[in-house]
Chains A and B, each alone.
Chain A
Amino acid sequence: MTFEPNILAFCCNWCSYAAADLAGIGRMDQPTNIKIVRVMCSGRVKPEFVIKALSDGVDGVLILGCHIGDCHYVTGNHRTLKRFQVLERLLEHIGIDPRRIRLDWASAAEAEPFSNMIREFTEQIRELGPNPYAGSYA
């Protein structure tokens, strides 16, 4: 049986969550692995949330915001980007494969690119296999 990863996606209310809705309206077939948590802005996603998810056994975490320059809150996604870059290095440092996390952008109109991101990331995590870090963070 192929490994079916359990993936969490943080989507911002204004762009990527709307893109996910539009992908639904367009009936764009997607793997069932991803569960979306809505936040008002990708800038709300604390790096701790990602570490918590991975250490609790989630196999991969996606953060999807508005394109740079299109943030509903002007610069929230700039912060997300900076934090994400630090987070990637931090994960590497503590021995977690940073390929288990991904930051990307999807505008409210980009249902097709959104669906592709979901498919690609699911495939990537499927190849990485089950999360070996579960329970490693108290």
Chain B
Amino acid sequence: MSEKIRIGVFVCHCGLNIGATVDCAAVAEHAKKLPHVVYVEHNMYTCSEPGQLQIKNGIRDHDLNRVVVASCSPRMHEPTFRATVADAGLNPFLFEMANIREHCSWIHKDKEAGTEKAKMLVELSVARAALLEPLDSREVGVTNTALVIGAGVSGMRAATDIADRGYDVHLVERELFMGGKAAWFSKMFPLRKCEETCVGDCPHCLLVPEFEEVLDNPRITLHLNSEVTNIDGYVGNFKATIRTQPIYVDRDKCTYCGECTNVCPASVPDERNYGMQTRKAIYLPSTGIVPRSYVLDDSACSHFVGGKCAKKPLCVKACKFGAIDLKEKERTQEVDIGTIVVATGFDNYDPTEKKELHYQHPRVITAPEFERLSAYTGPTDGKLVIDGIEPKRVAFISCVGSREKDGNEYCSRVCCIFTAKQAHSVLRKLPDAHVAVYYTDVRAFGKGHEEFYQKVLDEGADYRLRELEDPLKVTINNDNIKVRCKGHKDFKADLVVLATGLVPQHDSPEICRLLNLSLSGDGFFMEAHPKLRPIDTFTDGVFLAGCCQGPKDIADSMAQASGAAARACGILSKMALTLGVETAFSDETCIGCGTCVEVCQFGAITLEEIDGELRAVVNEALCKGCGTCIAACPSGAMQQRHYTDEQILAMIEAVAGGGA
């Protein structure tokens, strides 16, 4: 390189965040002695406007052609400073950062040792900076279509928001209907009026308009009974494979007459009503669900499993509209998309493992089961009758599967209020019932939640404080159920409802692999930053909505879904996107062995004949910049932009030279 390297180093105090445990002035003094360094400053906040101005002035007044900032993590402010140096006319990739906050001042108490380490980290960065090369960001076009995975309340909202802004959306749902878990609730809290008469809080009134919006929107393609099985590509240019299972009923021809169900010989437990009733193999999942249509479950159908209908299916004969087609096959299609919203929701905690709660007893049920019991669309038409009796004494137990020392440590955030709602429901339907609620705290933090909880107390719900650590027990003796809790008289119960928490979808690790996401410690999808980027993921172009990111109520899910849609539209509205520069490239020393082709997970490398010799050629649009091929290359022909061997070796030498 003919140009003389002139490095400027800026050391940030970050108030006392760095300044308290690292002597920033001493670090700056040390930097002055390093090779190629011609200008050094230390200031209170380098990321502030005056701090950035100092960098720009330094570039202008001291002819700096490399800039090193020693401050926080590059994962925090690298984009900020790259923009700063670019503003001053320097190529943004001639910038390097030393992380002396997260990796130094925040984890060391000894100021002397911390300062020495900070000096060393600056040495590393200066060594690398001297070898940085200017790079041009790559630009690619954008497919202006979105994919939304999951058509629960969050997915539906995200899809309609994106479609309303004028972009096409593929909405993929693995169930047979929209609305997710919320579609099966009896009512949605907080209730607007403490009346049992309908005031519009049932999924019927609240969600059906949302369903219709999705169905009527010409920009939304709804894929029900479908799963995303593969994702290729990168932000702006993904390719998704959608696999659709047959439902064997043509939704347009079906008139919901029910003749097929009448003749169907099969009978299996209805999973959506938790086995509280049976259903046929061809059936209407619920009157409240949309799109409304009969569906056929081939795992229960005697035509498929061999039986009465093997040759002449009764339902096909019974259907006067020719809506049933048992020859319908699984379909797979590929769609081009630019961005993805993940709204895959949650699972309900299964309390079977808690032996002391006796969940196997028919009158010990979970909160979602109670929702079906209490719903007008449920197996009892909303009448509180279970196991043949009308429960006069009902116990609710909070925090089952949440806030545990050795299990799910997190709070599921919705149980306190759905428990209050369910207690209210019992008291309204059976006014002389005794409702005992065993609680640890009542976390009524949402808008209108505290007011609602107070009303439920006024209605006579008997709230009983229990210690979270106290092993509350349900005992069963000749069908007599008792709840035993320290500090309270035993409560004889006709029905026990466990306020089961929210857990990650059982197959969320598969979605992780599909989209390169990370999981948080609690098993939900990890956001890019818990405070500043709660919707983004580390995979560019993939956003999170609803409970897949962590437990939240419907209002919060809707808000996040709208946010995710806005973020997705930020990509869809662009003509072109700038991609990372850290791509691999190979030179003429390549021997054409093909090792790199083999290790590349993205099919970015091919062997091509150049000047009569076989050489590796990298498709930089497909290259993700991991650098695995470079470590595999036996001839050293493969290199990575912005992470060259020379740059990394310079840092290694700087570490080795420093000693301890």
Residues of A within 8 A of B518 (CB): 14-15, 70, 107-109
A37 in contact with B516 given A24-B107, A25-B102 (CB within 8 Å):
no
Interface size class of A (residues with CB under 8 A): 35 or more
Please determine whether A43 and B660 come into contact, CB atoms closer than 8 angstroms: no
Kindly provide the distance from the CB of B132 to the nearest chain A CB, expressed in whole angstroms. Answer: 14
Please determine whether A35 and B124 come into contact, CB atoms closer than 8 angstroms: yes
Count: A-B pairs, CB below 8 Å? 153
| B117 at interface by CB-CB < 8 Å | yes
Please determine whether B655 and A30 come into contact, CB atoms closer than 8 angstroms: no
| B632 at interface by CB-CB < 8 Å | yes
CB 8 Å contact bits of B569-608 with A (1 = contact, 0 = none): 0000000000000100000000000000001011000000
Residues of A within 8 A of B625 (CB): 40
Please determine whether B655 and A58 come into contact, CB atoms closer than 8 angstroms: yes
Alpha-carbon distance A108/B69, docked complex (angstroms): 24
Residues of B within 8 A of A32 (CB): 104, 108, 110, 113-114, 116-117
| B443 at interface by CB-CB < 8 Å | no
CB 8 Å contact bits of A58-84 with B (1 = contact, 0 = none): 110000000001101111100100010
| A38 at interface by CB-CB < 8 Å | yes
| B538 at interface by CB-CB < 8 Å | yes
| A36 at interface by CB-CB < 8 Å | yes
Please determine whether A69 and B652 come into contact, CB atoms closer than 8 angstroms: no
Alpha-carbon distance A29/B640, docked complex (angstroms): 34
| B135 at interface by CB-CB < 8 Å | no
Residues of A within 8 A of B113 (CB): 32
Residues of B within 8 A of A90 (CB): none
Residues of B within 8 A of A47 (CB): 631
Residues of B within 8 A of A8 (CB): 652, 655-656
| B649 at interface by CB-CB < 8 Å | yes
The majority secondary structure among interface residues of chain B is helix
Please determine whether B658 and A6 come into contact, CB atoms closer than 8 angstroms: yes
Alpha-carbon distance A107/B519, docked complex (angstroms): 8
Alpha-carbon distance A4/B120, docked complex (angstroms): 15
| A46 at interface by CB-CB < 8 Å | yes
Contact of A52 among B74, B628, B649 (CB under 8 A): B649
Q: Which residue of B lies closest to A50 (CB)?
A: B652
Please determine whether B656 and A53 come into contact, CB atoms closer than 8 angstroms: yes
Alpha-carbon distance A73/B652, docked complex (angstroms): 24
Residues of B within 8 A of A59 (CB): 660
Interface residues of A in 12-36 (CB under 8 A from B): 13-15, 17-18, 20-21, 23-25, 27-30, 32-33, 35-36
Kindly provide the distance from the CB of B71 to the nearest chain A CB, expressed in whole angstroms. Answer: 12
Contact of B109 among A29, A36, A44, A110 (CB under 8 A): A29
Alpha-carbon distance A35/B122, docked complex (angstroms): 11
A57 in contact with B659 given A44-B630, A107-B518, A109-B519 (CB within 8 Å):
yes
Please determine whether A109 and B652 come into contact, CB atoms closer than 8 angstroms: no
Please determine whether B108 and A30 come into contact, CB atoms closer than 8 angstroms: yes
Please determine whether A29 and B626 come into contact, CB atoms closer than 8 angstroms: no
Kindly provide the distance from the CB of B478 to the nearest chain A CB, expressed in whole angstroms. Answer: 48
Please determine whether A24 and B601 come into contact, CB atoms closer than 8 angstroms: no
Interface residues of B in 105-136 (CB under 8 A from A): 106-110, 113-114, 116-117, 120-121, 124
| A117 at interface by CB-CB < 8 Å | no
6 additional contacts (CB under 8 A) given A13-B75, A41-B628, A43-B628: A27-B107, A32-B116, A35-B655, A59-B660, A72-B538, A76-B626
Seen from chain A, the residues whose Cβ lies within 8 Å of a Cβ on chain B are 4-6, 8, 13-15, 17-18, 20-21, 23-25, 27-30, 32-33, 35-41, 43-47, 49, 52-53, 56-59, 69-70, 72-76, 79, 83, 107-110, 115
- Can you name 12 A-B pairs with beta carbons within 8 Å? A25-B102, A27-B106, A28-B107, A32-B110, A35-B121, A35-B124, A41-B628, A47-B631, A53-B655, A69-B513, A72-B538, A109-B521
